[in-house]
A and B are shown apart, each in its own frame.
Chain A
Amino acid sequence: MSNKMHIKLNVNGKEEEFLAEPRELLIYTLRERLNITGPHIGCETSHCGACTVTIDGKSVKSCTMFAAQADGKSITTIEGLGGPDNLHPLQEAFKEHHGLQCGYCTPGMITRATKLLEENPNPTEEEIRFGMAGNICRCTGYQNIVKSIQAAAVEMNASKEAAE
């Protein structure tokens, strides 16, 4: 196939530029081309959310978006949220409240939760459950995921207040 497209992305703050077939799905661009393996593949039909990333401020399931559709956009994956020295409050909260088991859904789950809390810093339990319903977890039964997100919200609001 020679009909490659010229694509530019900003991934976790880093500019990436490459030629790709129009059919290349964003999840493969991330995982195989850019070696960003935090986002996972669970269904390839947009149901499970393991591949969730943030694109220009919106949660997106990268398994059903072409890389070409993301041309020119900024993408944040779990790797861009925080590292060993600066964990995101959600990363801390998931560890603290046993919000994960096998870990396969976790990157997508946490990435989605960052957007949820950005849009709604004080969600009710019901709002968390509804807002996270695009991300499937097979291990935890969600109870501790909800708890983790609630705890992170409290933590984030407290540090926001402290900053103000």
Chain B
Amino acid sequence: MKDEVDTREDRVANLKGMGCSRKRVEDARFTQGKGNYVDDIKLDGMLFGDFVRSPYAHARIKSIDTAAALEVPGVLAVLTAADLEPLGLHWMPTLAGDKQMVLADGKVLFQGQEVAFVVAEDRYAAADGIELVEVEYEELPVIVNPFEALKSDVVLREDLMGEGGSLPDGAHGPRKHHNHIFTWDAGDKEPTEEVIANADVVATESMYYHRTHPCPLETCGCVASMDKVNGKLTLWGTFQAPHAIRTVVSLISGIEEHNIRVVSPDIGGGFGNKVGAYPGYVCSVVASIVTGKPVKWIEDRMDNLMTTAFARDYHMTGKISATKEGKITGLHCHVTADHGGFDACADPTKFPAGFMNICTGSYDIPTAYLEVDGVYTNKAPGGVSYRCSFRVTEAVYFIERMIEVLAIKLDMDAAELRRINFIKKEQFPYQAALGWEYDSGDYHTAWDKALKTVDYDGLRAEQAQRVEDFKAGKTRKLMGIGLSFFTEIVGAGPVKNCDILGLGMFDSCEIRIHPTGSAIARLGTISQGQGHATTFAQILASEIGLPADSITIEEGDTDTAPYGLGTYGSRSTPVAGAATAMAGRKIRAKAQMIAAYLLEVHDNDVEFDVDRFVVKGAPEKFKTMKEIAFAAYNQAIPGIEPGLEAVSYYDPPNMTYPFGAYVCVMDIDVDTGVPEIRRFYALDDCGTRINPMIIEGQVHGGLTEALAVALGQEIAYDDMGNCKTGTLMDFFLPTAWEVPNYETDYTVTPSPHHPIGAKGVGESPHVGGVPCFSNAVQDAFRPFGNTHTNMPHDHWRIWKTANELGLHG
């Protein structure tokens, strides 16, 4: 028997379990053009829907005339708010407790807002119809600045006003002004103010984390098909959370949940863009019900950038206090958060500013206070987590800039300032001042490894020489050393404090072992490129002793997958990965009983070994998992049900806290403003590593999205509320030409509460990368008096900084 000659090492390798760089099973179809994305779906008689969108950022709608559009050959229907109102679908709830117009109901609040939905036989006819829908607008004053919004008499959301101009509470408590959404705070206000008032040293800085967009290469879209004969609605779409979408569709449409099947097919990148529910989904469903035919809606790129899911847009003011020696004593942060026309932020219900309260970062800061004010403006709604857990990128950018600003104030080296303030290894689990309990960390080890690898002291010496050369007129290039040390908070999350629309943020895995020893596992998550079909099979292979190559992973079909809250906020590995391990352990527990029966020993006399159960002390007596699987289906075992299946719904006891140390070395041409990244070193600690190849790929990708955000990517508006960045001509997506090679490295500090110790990694490089790139730019100018300049550091802004510092002579 082959098993007998294989060494234990061979048997481990044969599983392709956790820790190996297993090649991706997804790639065969993607490399051959056989992916199945939503726009590839083609159904008999399928129609195409598209929106008439508002050219104005704030206007009243006086009339909508659809007659001419309906004359266009191929146009079947034009839906407006008036058509949706009898169904109660002209507005829909947002994930943030607000409500949002599906189609403009009397007014529009941002440019590109959905006004009417034209349903036609194909895209061309729909476009022709859109041209002929006549909408008469009356322009209203536009507010694109949240500080002005809080002072303005102009009421953006009349629907939220009470009787006689009163101001009812919002979803997150009292509102201070008619354009104010909520105030949310964490920590201790007075003690923090007192510590800061009495501190040796206080550094203060205001920074704007600009509005940007996740911009996956595939835009959002769906196909809705109402089968009136069977009363079943099927909705295929770009959903990062298909089960949540099913529940939302049921709640707002009244169709019972068992009659709705939501399917996420292959998704062409998400990065947070595909978490929310958008008017296109609702209109497609209604149009399918009205016409009795399947209806497809696919955003074009301009729709995508202008209307679905912006990220960031946080105006942050910080105060950080320290002793003369640099020990941080207190941190104060205030945020004015621009949420646009509707509050559609995708955050757990109790966290209207996400996990911004992770903003004490990796440092042992005894006293802190955070206050966030959400504000309405005439900009698109959204506020999603763009490749990060909820608002964590903002939080980490804030603290990593404040550390640099404090270092300048103290005239200290920023790496040393970090080192003396890190939470120490022995302090974990660490209770942070703003409420979170960090699970595990070893920051000093990671930091020392990073600084040693890049020869930090050597870099600083080189930089000092460069400054001298620059002053002596020998070079026009400055050198910046960007540092960042980040702690993420991912894996939302414990049901006790994390829910979305009342749905607890657990996740799930269901496993069926087939008689011949292969398996299928289904999860409540959905891959958008992360390679779940590869990595979840690796977790299972290690847990149940069947080769990963014999395990199919399936996600995204709500008729077959167990309920879960989906994939975003790096929650798949921390939550669904845990569910997978736990379900695997249930399989193993039953397998142990079967093995003991087959080997005619007591259950406790067998133990699991790689791919089999062996009799303790008699390794020659064993049953492989493959044999056990077959026995589960062909033996009548007393007291044990036939079959080998398990399901686990996992409610994590805590978040996970991945961390990392990044260093960027950059040359900056002060005359052109062009930054050149000479070196980027990224050390990530994501706990147990499931697939190093995929981890490195995630790090490369996340860093590149960080480079984009830090060095040029933004959603910008003019004073009229016109979005100036609606195409890829204006919205920066780096190409291979702008992107450097990255050096990746790691330490491993497992999560103590996660079944396999994994913490998640997909978003770490973005979270840690943005401040690292930004700090590199800012550090280059530090010797010339720069304290802080806002991102994005595009060529023009870098040139401007150089100019303002008098470096152009």
Contact = CB atoms under 8 A, between A and B. Distances in A.
Given A47-B727, A104-B37, A105-B217, A129 B700 contact: no
Contacts of B215: 138
A43 B40 CA distance: 16
Contact of A45 (B24, B301, B702): B301
Contact of B31 (A1, A40, A100): A100
Given A44-B301, A140-B700, A95 B24 contact: yes
A41 B30 contact: no
Chain A CB within 10 Å, residue with most, of B32, B266, B298: B32
Contact of A141 (B268, B271, B703): B703
Nearest to B39: A41
Given A78-B32, A102-B267, A138-B701, A43 B728 contact: yes
A49 B809 CA distance: 42
A61 B696 CA distance: 30
A136 B217 contact: yes
Contact of B736 (A37, A95, A96, A146): A146
A48 B733 contact: yes
Contacts of A133: 735-737
B31 A110 contact: yes
B17 interface: no
Nearest to B27: A95
Interface in B660-712: 693-694, 696-698, 700-705
B769 to A, nearest CB: 10
B737 A129 contact: yes
B34 interface: yes
Contact of A100 (B30, B40, B729): B30
Interface string B213-257: 001111100000000000000000000000000000000000000
Contacts of B728: 43, 45, 47-48, 136
Given A101-B701, A103-B268, A43 B727 contact: yes
Contact of B735 (A35, A77, A107, A136): A136
B428 interface: no
Interface residues of A, number: 60
Contacts of A47: 727-729, 733
B268 A104 contact: yes
A141 B740 CA distance: 9
A142 B704 CA distance: 9
Contacts of B39: 31, 37, 40-41
Contacts of A91: 31-32
Contacts of B694: 98
Given A47-B728, A144-B697, A79 B33 contact: yes
A83 interface: yes
Interface in A128-150: 128-130, 132-146
Given A42-B217, A132-B736, A141-B739, A37 B267 contact: no
A87 B35 CA distance: 16
B269 interface: yes
Given A95-B23, A104-B35, A48 B742 contact: no
Contacts, number: 176
B529 interface: yes
Interface in B25-48: 26-35, 37, 39-40, 42
A75 interface: no
A82 interface: yes
Interface in B728-754: 728-729, 733, 735-737, 739, 741-742
Contacts of A95: 23-24, 27-28, 31
A37 B704 CA distance: 28
A66 B81 CA distance: 36
A103 B30 contact: yes
B598 to A, nearest CB: 39
A24 to B, nearest CB: 8
Contacts of A105: 217
Contacts of A104: 35, 37, 216-218, 268-269
Contacts of B218: 40, 42, 102, 104
A114 interface: no
Given A43-B727, A138-B216, A37 B40 contact: yes
B124 interface: yes
A50 to B, nearest CB: 6
B427 to A, nearest CB: 34
Given A45-B728, A143-B741, A106 B31 contact: yes
Contacts of B219: 42
Interface in B262-280: 266-269, 271
Contacts of A36: 33
B737 A130 contact: yes
A145 B37 contact: no
Given A35-B42, A141-B700, A144-B700, A102 B268 contact: yes
Contact of A102 (B216, B300, B301, B705): B216
Contacts of A44: 300-301
A110 B37 CA distance: 18
Contact of A42 (B23, B42, B301, B528): B301
A42 B30 CA distance: 16
B21 to A, nearest CB: 8
Contacts of B704: 140-142
B155 to A, nearest CB: 37
Given A100-B27, A103-B268, A143 B33 contact: no
A98 B30 contact: no
13 contacts: A42-B268, A43-B727, A47-B728, A87-B32, A103-B35, A104-B268, A104-B269, A128-B736, A136-B733, A138-B701, A141-B704, A142-B700, A143-B739
Closest 10 CB pairs of A and B: A38-B33, A103-B30, A102-B529, A104-B268, A141-B700, A141-B704, A101-B529, A78-B33, A47-B728, A142-B736
Given A23-B124, A145-B736, 11 more contacts: A43-B727, A43-B728, A47-B727, A84-B28, A95-B31, A98-B694, A102-B268, A103-B26, A138-B217, A138-B701, A140-B700
